Amino acid sequence: MQVSPTPSAPEGTGDPLLAQSLRPADTALALSAHTVGSLLREVAAERPDAVALRTIPDDGSAPRHWTYTELLAEAESIAAGIRERVGLGARVAVWAPNVPEWPVTEYAAALAGVTLVALNPALRAEELTHALRLSEAEMLLHADRSRDYDMAKVVGTVAPGLPRLRHVVPIADWESLRGSAPLPTAEQITGAAVPAQIQFTSGTTGNPKAVLLSHQSVVNVARLTFEGLGVRDGATVVSPLPMFHTAGCVISCLGPLWSRGTFVLLERFDPKVLLAELRRSPGAVLTSVPTVLTALNDVARASDEGPAPLSAVLTGAAPVRAQLITETEELFSTTVFNLYGQTELASVVTLTRPDDTAEYKTSTVGRPLPHVACKIVDPETGDVQPLGVPGEICARGYQQMLAYYGDPEATAQKVDGDGWLHTGDLGSMDSTGAVRIEGRLSDIIIRGGENIAPGPVESFLSTLPGVRDAVVVGVPDERWGECVAAVLLPTADHPEGPDVDLLVARCRERLSPHKIPVQWYLADGLPLTASGKIQKFRVRELIAESALIRLDASAGR
């Protein structure tokens, strides 16, 4: 396997070059001992009149806002009501779209000393039952509706079958949540292993698992991410991301708390609404995923008004095309920071930095954050790989999950005896510690005994004429076991799809023969998880169901 050339360390890092794909944790900076609640109290004392939270309603009505003093008072009132219903350490679930009460509940749960259970508002009855039962939730706060989905009806169906769920409160009855019970002392909820949240995995390989994250992990990941970005004091952070995901409730919500700034939450993602909000907040930080950036850029290009400059754009959760980074930087006169993370690692493991070169920003996901060690290992032997050789990405540090709640067997499979968390993702590392993502172990295509990582093939296809994005999967083949199939999203100027003969010719110039797709498909969209990750299992199903346009059929391939 070819080894990537060894680059020099990015200017300003001062990091020694690595000899193998193992970067030790940088522990020069001390971790914060704050909980989510104690951090809010500290910032409210320092910036009582600064705007802490602004929400952009789904219905077009006027935005709502809270100062830090108001936000703390609201959170403490709800925290007292929670403590009147459940004890210290109980699990309290919130099932709602991006409503203002979501971040308030996040802070209230922390102040009450309970574990917040974050639930996807799209869950159906069986999925909701699984999540509430697995997390052993004693209390549920829920919205009545999410768009046309009758959530109240679903709650009424599942709650009677969950005897442990003793309190069910509609968010519409918000005032009834207020209470006067005494809140726990700081000593009662302080410590490296005190749980803050339960987040759920996407469940693409089975039932979703309940990821238990500590206050130490969510607080410090948000802090170190924003410090890595160089976010200025008092910055406005705009987020259209779902609050039930760590990208929303950890990075987007707690990041601006560290910068003593304003968190602007879109109740629903609409690229036109997002663009208008960014114009109202020049110099803001935008948290995003690639699908959000693509839609935003399309609207910005078509707009008569020029987009306002942004101080930074943070994106990740799915592979980010180099062209998307370059395009966004040009449109918004900004710097796009690419990240890699996983729910089990409190959402961010690696991050590009302000002083990285254009090549690093567009081809890597950056270097690990402080206090997390990272290595690339051979999936079969567990040995650390040479520099530039792909393998499984493993991480170890304070930010990793405490456990899969209620599933010690799955926890033991995820975290080995030496404490390394195995991500299941494929990547390579260069001598500076920068990581390149190659794909998922489960997505490896095995063609005639050759292992093919889809990531590099997808990245190359996305640079070709007429291709906006590409997904590569393995499909059954009688001769080879599997063959390579490519699903393409066309550019706006080639809606009928690119010329496959031209694509194949270009592939022959750059790719080994066994990596060149032999089946080509066209799609106008891709099945995504709520966090913007492509559901490759569903892409394979769409191919098997003949639900996609076959581009190469007329060519006899």
What is the pLDDT, as a whole number, of residue 13?
56
Instruction: Say if CB 382 and CB 396 are below 8 A apart.
Output: no
> CA 192 from chain center: how many Å?
23
For residue range 346-372, what is the model confidence (pLDDT) as tens digits?
999 999 999 999 999 999 999 999 999
Q: Where are the alpha helices (DSSP H) in 394-453?
A: 408-414
In a domain, 381, yes or no: yes
Residue 338 CA to residue 311 CA, distance in Å, equals 14
Question: Are residues 488 and 404 part of one domain?
Answer: no
In a domain, 214, yes or no: no
What is the pLDDT, as a whole number, of residue 447?
86
Number of compact structural domains in the chain = 2
In a domain, 46, yes or no: no
Question: Are residues 469 and 435 part of one domain?
Answer: no
In a domain, 462, yes or no: yes
The residue range of the domain holding 409 is 15-31+368-440
The CA-atom distances, in angstroms, between 138 and each of 80, 97, 209 are 16, 20, 18
Residue 187 per-residue DSSP state:
G
Residue 148 CA to residue 268 CA, distance in Å, equals 13
290 closest CA partner among 319, 333, 249: 319
Question: Are residues 522 and 469 part of one domain?
Answer: yes
Among 413, 440, 467, which residue terminates a domain?
Answer: 440
Give the number of residues written for the chain: 557
The CA-atom distances, in angstroms, between 280 and each of 60, 90, 119, 283 are 15, 40, 31, 10
In a domain, 374, yes or no: yes
DSSP secondary structure letters along 510-537? HS-GGGS-SEEEE-S---B-TTS-B-HH
Residue 278 CB partners (closer than 8 Å, separation 6+): 238, 284, 286, 307, 308, 310, 332
What is the pLDDT, as a whole number, of residue 8?
54
Question: Are residues 408 and 385 part of one domain?
Answer: yes
Nearest-Å Rg of the Cα atoms of the chain is 23
Question: Are residues 543 and 467 part of one domain?
Answer: yes
Question: Are residues 521 and 465 part of one domain?
Answer: yes
Question: Are residues 412 and 452 part of one domain?
Answer: no
Question: Are residues 433 and 466 part of one domain?
Answer: no
In a domain, 62, yes or no: no
The token pair that represents 50 in the structure block: 């600064």
In a domain, 22, yes or no: yes
Question: Are residues 504 and 460 part of one domain?
Answer: yes
Among 440, 455, 480, which residue terminates a domain?
Answer: 440
Question: Are residues 462 and 417 part of one domain?
Answer: no
Question: Are residues 451 and 419 part of one domain?
Answer: no
CATH number at residue 374: 2.30.38.10
What is the pLDDT, as a whole number, of residue 316?
87
Among 419, 440, 461, which residue terminates a domain?
Answer: 440
Pair type for strands 262-266 and 236-239 = parallel
CATH number at residue 513: 3.30.300.30
In a domain, 61, yes or no: no
User: The tokens 């930080």 sit on which residue?
Assistant: 285
For residue range 388-436, what is the model confidence (pLDDT) as tens digits?
999 999 999 999 999 999 999 999 999 999 999 999 999 999 999 999 9
Residue 171 CA to residue 174 CA, distance in Å, equals 5
Residue 123 CA to residue 130 CA, distance in Å, equals 10
Question: Are residues 536 and 453 part of one domain?
Answer: yes
Consecutive sets of 10 residues in the chain, 557 residues long: mean pLDDT of each?
Answer: 44 75 96 97 98 93 96 98 98 98 98 97 92 98 95 97 98 97 93 93 73 98 97 97 95 97 97 94 94 91 86 86 91 95 95 93 94 96 96 97 97 97 95 91 81 85 91 87 92 88 91 90 85 81 92 59
